[in-house]
Amino acid sequence: MPNVRVYSKHTKEAVTCLSVLIKTYRKQRKWSEQNLADRAGISRATLQKIELGDLGCSVGLVFEVASLVGVPLFEGDHNAVAAQVNQAKQTLALLPKRIRTKERVVSDDF
């Protein structure tokens, strides 16, 4: 039996929201599915999965398609996103490189 990934309700709602926005923005631009798929360098079937909110689609592809149709991701201002990335990298640099958990010693001397 294959592993089935379980997603939270919040994740499902976020993906559904983004997929509906992508489809709406594509239609507002009067682009066909094939037109957008060609622009993104993907198949029409993959675009259909993205627009249906398929959770198996690559996040990179989803973001690229969203960007192509003009869906604002995070912030509308690219400088604000870059600043947020820099801040996150600075914070990450201050944190430990590895997370170590204390080894639990089990007493098996009965």
pLDDT score recorded for residue 24: 95
Domain holding 46, by residue range, is: 9-94
Domain-embedded: residue 101 = no
Could you tell me if residue 103 is inside a domain? no
In a domain, 25, yes or no: yes
pLDDT digits (tens, 9 = 90+) for 84-94: 878 888 888 88
Name residues whose C-beta falls within 8 Å of residue 7's C-beta, 6 or more positions apart in sequence.
Answer: 55
Residue 14 in any domain: the answer is yes
**Average pLDDT for residues 79-101, to the nearest whole number?**
81
In the chain, the number of structural domains is 1
CATH at 79: 1.10.260.40
Per-residue model confidence as pLDDT tens digits over 8-57 = 999 999 999 999 999 999 999 999 999 999 999 999 999 999 999 999 99
Q: Domain for residue 68, yes or no?
A: yes
Q: Give pTM, 2 decimals.
A: 0.76
In a domain, 50, yes or no: yes
Helix runs in the chain, H state only: 9-28, 33-40, 44-51, 59-69, 78-94
Tell me: the pLDDT tens digits for 60-77? Answer: 999 999 999 999 887 667
In angstroms, what CA-CA distances link 62 with 22, 42, 71, 86?
9, 11, 11, 23
User: Has residue 2 been placed in a domain?
Assistant: no
Torsion angles phi and psi, residue 36, rounded to 5: -65, -40
